[in-house]
Amino acid sequence: LSRGLVVLKLGGSIITDKSERFRPDEEAIGSLAREIASSGVRELVIVHGGGSFGHPLAADYGLSEGFRGPEQLRGLAETHLAMEELNKLVVSALLAEGLPAIPLPPISCFTTKGKRISRAFLGPLKALLALGAMPVLYGDVVLDEELGFTILSGDQIAAYLALALGAERVVLCLRVPGVFTRNPEEDPSAELIERLRPEDVKHVETGRLRVADVTGGMRKKLEEMAPVAAAGIPVFFTSPRPPGNLARALKGERAVGTLLSR
């Protein structure tokens, strides 16, 4: 078992049913928690996405483009609350597996400027890790120095934390098992790219989005993760299938997916 901090992003589309609002996939959440527990990896920061809890609301109220009027404040509150509800399901499932998971709301430890993280208060997160706890963050509404507020994706948080904490590795656990030559959900001839270098990211064709995702889908994930890989932190794009895959990826063992590294 390799040592060092692992940052794990759980895609919103694997923990929720993206076709219906506020529908969690509790079975998937439970089996992810079991797999994380069975991996034996304990130096872990988990960040999860919004799926059908965050994105449709954020789109309804135009939250990612920032403050336009006071009627949006209700949307800000509802979106944060929905994310807290999803977070509670994830954290509860981890606790049920005996893992010391603790929620850490991004709205209170990050601010952005023009949608990019400008300031972070990582004291509590570092202290939790030092105690051996497992912080669980998520894509959230945050206050923005220029826009008033915006949506901060779990991907940007995961990339930021990996760099700020000098993580050993980042694992992105998504619905699609890696990065493909085309969008595999649109084109069955798409092939898995097993190895990708940061400078090749711009050439990958990712296809259009079919479900609400205010923070940008696979293209944006690649753009967020390229600087992490360029800094020498390997990023592994993978999915929960087949069983055991995520545990292997967390341990840094060979698994099905795409390795983005220098």
> In angstroms, how far is the first alpha carbon of the chain from the final one?
22
Q: Which residues bind ligand IP8 (CB under 6 A)?
A: 12, 49-50, 54-55, 58, 79, 83, 139-140, 151, 153-155, 214-215
* Shortest distance (Å) from residue 134 CB to ligand IP8: 18
Residue closest to ligand IP8 when measured from CB atoms: 139
* Shortest distance (Å) from residue 63 CB to ligand IP8: 8
Query: Which DSSP state fits 23?
Result: -
- Rounded to whole angstroms, the Cα distance separating 226 from 230 reads 6
Nearer to ligand IP8, 128 or 214 (CB): 214
Nearer to ligand IP8, 163 or 200 (CB): 163
Q: Going along 3-161, which residue ranges are E strands?
A: 6-10, 44-48, 101-103, 110-113, 116-120, 134-138, 140-144, 148-152
Amino acid at 141: V
Element (H, E) at 36: helix 26-39
Look at strands 101-103 and 134-138 and give their pairing: parallel
Nearer to ligand IP8, 57 or 260 (CB): 57
* Shortest distance (Å) from residue 49 CB to ligand IP8: 3
Nearer to ligand IP8, 158 or 167 (CB): 158
* Shortest distance (Å) from residue 81 CB to ligand IP8: 11
What is the CA angle 234-42-195, rounded to 5? 20
Nearer to ligand IP8, 75 or 252 (CB): 75
* Shortest distance (Å) from residue 87 CB to ligand IP8: 11
- 193 pairs with which residues across the strands? 179
